[in-house]
Amino acid sequence: MPQHALNTPVCRDCDGFATVAITTGTRHRDGSRSTLRVACPSCKGTGHTAPAAALTRAER
Ligand SMILES: [Zn+2]
């Protein structure tokens, strides 16, 4: 497999990191930090610019 294959377009908004954990600053009672998982609105958490339906078509 070539390492620089560009057959999978990466979302430019999140650069592939579609789901980001954000610390809210608050902490739970056990001391762990409270985090929110936010999905990129452009790719809707897929990390790619093309929708899932288009990717499925491209494989055929
Ligand atoms: Zn994205």
* H-only helix segments in the chain: 52-59
pLDDT in the model for residue 31: 93
pLDDT in the model for residue 29: 94
Give pLDDT tens digits for 1-60.
Answer: 556 655 678 999 889 988 888 899 999 999 999 988 889 988 888 898 865 565 566 555
CA of 30 to the centre of ligand 1 (A): 33
- Is the pTM value of this prediction over 0.75? no
CA of 17 to the centre of ligand 1 (A): 7
CA of 24 to the centre of ligand 1 (A): 21
Contacts of 48 (CB under 8 A, 6+ apart): 8, 9, 10, 11, 16, 55
Give pLDDT tens digits for 45-59.
Answer: 889 886 556 556 655
Contacts of 7 (CB under 8 A, 6+ apart): 58
